[in-house]
């Protein structure tokens, strides 16, 4: 009797279902409920207002600016991050001592704390004493205000995010490249396949599951970026570097408008869900697992 209960599949998956319900499903349903309310956490008042919070968000020009910033941030961090990781991984895929040393150096930023990374880059990007402006001046190029200017603040956090996540992406790409059987490349040599033919006809197709994994994780990471904005720019100047997660935080915990923040969270969840479905529908047909 005990063995029959233990072997019951519903019993085995019950702990996972309970944890998902407590930490994922319940917060979503709670946020959905609160999004239809005007909840003042200072006065402790609650009032049902229907879709008023959603209407206010859609009429808010700051929301559209933040959404635009988030899409630009996600596009450049994902595309540039994966392309750089693939190129670097191609050069470092051989298991040599020099390659292993470079891999360790590249992976180091990934294990550093967000505070350490942002403080370092804030010093590098300082308009007056920063090394980056010194290099630009040495090259005869105009200097930049970086994170202190509305024109370059978003670019600044994009650079920092790509740099911090590059090591992880490179290691994943190298692991995928090293898992490709060597006899396939040997067969390509016998057929006198060139480097570009081998790259586009063998390496990329066989690496597509790894790249698809990186695509999904990079999109999730870029859309949920918070620490780099909070530590470097606080969304400024003039919301030029503000991203949607930090914007939701500002509304909920700085302006104490929990209802509007919850509505923004629901819209954000829907947007990420749509992007995930599009990714799976388009790229899943091109990815084959053995």
Give the pLDDT of the chain (290 residues) as one tens digit per residue: 556 666 667 777 777 788 877 877 888 888 888 888 887 777 777 788 888 889 989 998 999 999 999 999 999 999 999 999 998 888 887 777 776 777 777 887 778 788 888 888 888 888 888 888 888 888 888 888 888 888 889 999 999 999 988 888 988 888 888 888 888 888 878 777 778 888 888 888 888 888 888 888 888 888 888 888 888 888 878 888 899 999 999 888 888 888 888 999 999 888 888 887 887 777 665 555 45
pLDDT for res 289: 46
Is there a contact between 148 and 237 (Cβ–Cβ < 8 Å)? yes
Rg (Cα) of the chain, in Å, rounded?
24
* Res 7: pLDDT: 67
The two structure tokens encoding residue 279: 């990714």
Q: How confident is the model at residue 284, as a pLDDT?
A: 62
pLDDT of res. 9: 73
- Confidence at residue 67, expressed as pLDDT on a 0 to 100 scale: 92
What pLDDT does residue 152 have? Answer: 87
What's residue 285's pLDDT? 58
Q: How many CB atoms lie within 10 A of CB 197?
A: 12
Indicate the pTM of the whole model.
Answer: 0.85
Check residue 70 and give its pLDDT.
Answer: 92
The three-state (H, E, C) secondary structure of 83-108, written as one string: HHHHHHHHHHCCCCHHHHHHHHHHHH
Sign of torsion, CA 54 57 58 63?
negative
| 40: three-class secondary structure by DSSP | strand
């Amino acid at each position: 009797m005990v063995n029959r209960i233990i072997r019951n599949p519903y019993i085995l998956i019950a702990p996972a279902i309970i944890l998902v319900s407590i930490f994922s499903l319940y917060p979503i349903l709670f946020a959905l409920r609160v999004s239809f309310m005007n909840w003042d956490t200072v006065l402790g008042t609650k009032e049902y207002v229907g879709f008023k919070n959603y209407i206010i968000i859609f009429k808010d020009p700051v929301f559209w600016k933040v959404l635009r910033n988030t899409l630009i941030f996600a596009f450049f961090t994902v595309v540039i991050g994966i392309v750089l990781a693939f190129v670097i991984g191609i050069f470092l895929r051989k298991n040599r001592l020099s390659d292993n040393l470079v891999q360790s150096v590249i992976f180091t930023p990934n294990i550093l704390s967000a505070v350490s990374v942002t403080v370092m880059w804030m010093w590098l990007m300082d308009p007056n004493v920063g090394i980056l402006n010194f290099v630009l001046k040495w090259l005869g190029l105009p200097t930049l205000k970086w994170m202190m200017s509305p024109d370059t603040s978003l670019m600044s956090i994009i650079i920092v995010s790509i740099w911090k996540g590059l090591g992880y992406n490179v290691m994943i790409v190298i692991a995928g490249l090293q898992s490709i059987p060597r006899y396939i490349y040997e067969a390509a040599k016998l057929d006198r396949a060139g480097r570009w033919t081998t790259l586009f006809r063998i390496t990329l197709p066989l690496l597509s599951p790894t790249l698809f994994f990186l695509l999904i994780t990079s999109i999730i990471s870029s859309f949920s970026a918070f620490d780099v904005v909070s530590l470097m720019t606080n969304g400024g100047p003039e919301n030029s570097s503000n991203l949607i997660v930090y914007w939701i935080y500002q509304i909920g915990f700085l302006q104490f408008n929990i209802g509007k923040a919850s509505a923004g969270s629901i819209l954000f969840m829907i947007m990420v869900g749509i992007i995930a479905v599009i990714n799976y529908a388009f790229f899943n047909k091109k990815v084959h697992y053995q």
